[in-house]
Amino acid sequence: MLKKKTLALTLAAALAVPAALAIPAVAAGNDTTPAAPAATTSESVLTTVAAPYPATVRTTTSASAAPVVYGTGSTVSVTVKAATGTPTGYVKVKVGTKTFTKGLTSGKATVSLGKLNKGTYSASVTYTPTSGSEFKGSSTAVAVKVTAGKTSVKVANTSIAKGKSPAVYVKASRDGKATVTITGPNGFKVTKTIAVKGNTTAKAAFTSKVRASGTYKVSVKFTPTSTNYSGSTAAASVRVR
């Protein structure tokens, strides 16, 4: 009888659940569904990845500039090419002490230089690739030509009569000087240089008198004050009876 009681107690002890593992009692009406684990999120981060072989692709830079007349802005057209891919970055055009910068679009850029004085300039063009890209920098040079602006002059009026001292009225488009010459019969010739204001009539008065009848020719040579403009000429003839 003692042996049976001892065996029963031993079996009960073996089947007992430790307190740490025991499932707590749930009150009536409570949800017995286990809580879902906390959700985890992942965030995509955009990063700039440098070329696997930076500054290894050679480039060629070419440039051209069409001649312009003084008073018109000059531009330089730049193209950067590579054996593979389309170069990115920017170009710098240096003319004298001034530098102009423009970014590339599809490997090309048009750089405005503004209005330059008359003359021919040697402009340096330098290509700088995007930092970390596979392209190498390159450079070239281009001539930028600005021709003289045009001027005009005309004989506005004349006063040439027998027995009187002649006078010629001239009008030019710019400030400058006008050299007026009158030639006529019997070797008549007089010349005078006068100052002229742009778009204002100026008078060239002579002291010598006209002595003979015939045709007198008037010629005007205008020289502008600014070297950015070219000179111009005008002519007229007067019949004196």
41-99: pLDDT as tens digits? 334 343 445 567 788 999 999 999 999 999 999 999 999 999 999 999 999 999 999 99
Dist CA 49 CA 132 (whole Å): 9
Instruction: Give me the domain span that covers residue 230.
Output: 153-240
Dist CA 152 CA 173 (whole Å): 5
Residue 54: per-residue pLDDT? 83
Q: Is the pLDDT of residue 229 over 90?
A: yes
Count of domains for the chain: 2
Scan for tokens 């009158």, then name that residue. Answer: 182
**Residue at a domain's end among 120, 147, 174:** 147
pTM of the model: 0.72
H or E stretch including 158? strand 153-159
Q: Look up residue 75 and give its amino acid.
A: T
Q: Say how many residues make up the chain.
A: 241
Q: Is the pLDDT of residue 105 over 70?
A: yes
Is residue 143 domain-shared with residue 175, that is, in the same domain? no
**More confidently predicted of 39 and 92:** 92
Is residue 236 domain-shared with residue 222, that is, in the same domain? yes
pLDDT in tens, 173-191: 999 999 999 999 999 999 9
Residue 85: per-residue pLDDT? 95
**Residue at a domain's end among 147, 170, 199:** 147
Is residue 232 domain-shared with residue 182, that is, in the same domain? yes
The 3-state DSSP class for residue 86 equals coil
On whether the CB atoms of residues 168 and 204 are closer than 8 A, the answer is yes
Residue 45 in any domain: the answer is no
Residue 55: per-residue pLDDT? 82
How does DSSP classify residue 7?
H
- Pairing between strand 68-69 and 138-147? parallel
**More confidently predicted of 39 and 232:** 232
Is residue 175 domain-shared with residue 206, that is, in the same domain? yes
> Confidence band (pLDDT; 50, 70, 90) for 128?
very high
Q: Is the pLDDT of residue 203 over 70?
A: yes
Phi, psi at 207, each rounded to 5°: -95, -30
